Amino acid sequence: MTMMSTLALKANTPAVRAELATMGAAYTGYKSDEQLHPEAIDPNLIYIALLVATQEHGEDFTQLLWQLFLDSHNAHERENFLSAMAQSSDPKIAQWLRTKLLSSEIKDNEIFPIMWGQMNRSENRDDMWAWAKDNMPDLLERVAKQRQGQLPSIFDTFCSLEKAADIEQFFDPIIDNLESGPRNLANA
């Protein structure tokens, strides 16, 4: 799995990406019955196949993943769907998924995978950070009290002193009220 992931995501090997996108489509019944087909893929490749298929097939595939996510009661499936959608480099998909962060369709414990996924994509980082700053009171309402202190660590993928200062300045007034917040902010 690691080799396919590296070839697909780091090296952007067209043949590997095409194979994974085909696997993702087969697993989800994309452009056919839109039902899950676990037998169509090695379980170890599901996440990477969904991620590549999301990137390759775009908005139509993402909408299918969203519907499969809503229909699923399996936490592992739901995390795979969300994490794959969150890694989209399409700004329209990324923005749409951010609007879902405060939706009742997302369980409280499913917020972080979306945020981490978006922060893993350089093209989504600034928009994810801006969204978080604009929506922090509502976000704090949704995140369990014992996990609120982890919020600063989501933004540790920025690599500039300017962003570090912005994050520190933003969290400074509230950080002492977040369990483990000061330590997570210092680490971020």
> Mean per-residue pLDDT for 20-39?
97
pLDDT the model gives residue 181: 77
Question: 37 pLDDT exceeds 70?
Answer: yes
Tell whether the torsion through CA atoms of 144, 147, 150 and 154 is positive or negative: negative
pLDDT the model gives residue 112: 94
Which band of pLDDT confidence, cut at 50, 70 and 90, is reported for residue 1?
low
Question: 39 pLDDT exceeds 80?
Answer: yes
**Residue 185 near residue 167, CB atoms below 8 Å:** yes
Q: Rounded mean pLDDT of the chain?
A: 92
pLDDT the model gives residue 7: 66
Query: pTM for the full model?
Result: 0.88
The SS3 of residue 60 is helix
Biggest CA–CA distance in the chain, Å, is: 52
> Mean per-residue pLDDT for 131-150?
94
The CA R_g of the chain, rounded to the nearest whole Å, is: 17
pLDDT the model gives residue 162: 93
Between 43 and 3, the higher pLDDT residue: 43
pLDDT in tens, 55-109: 999 999 999 999 999 999 999 999 999 999 999 989 999 999 999 999 999 999 9
pLDDT the model gives residue 44: 93
Q: How far is CA 49 from CA 5, 9, 21, 60, 183, in A?
A: 9, 11, 6, 16, 36
Burial degree of 185 (CB within 10 A; 0-12, 13-18, 19+) = buried
Which band of pLDDT confidence, cut at 50, 70 and 90, is reported for residue 155?
very high
Q: Where are the beta strands (DSSP E) in 28-174?
A: none
pLDDT the model gives residue 165: 92
> Mean per-residue pLDDT for 97-126?
94
pLDDT the model gives residue 4: 65
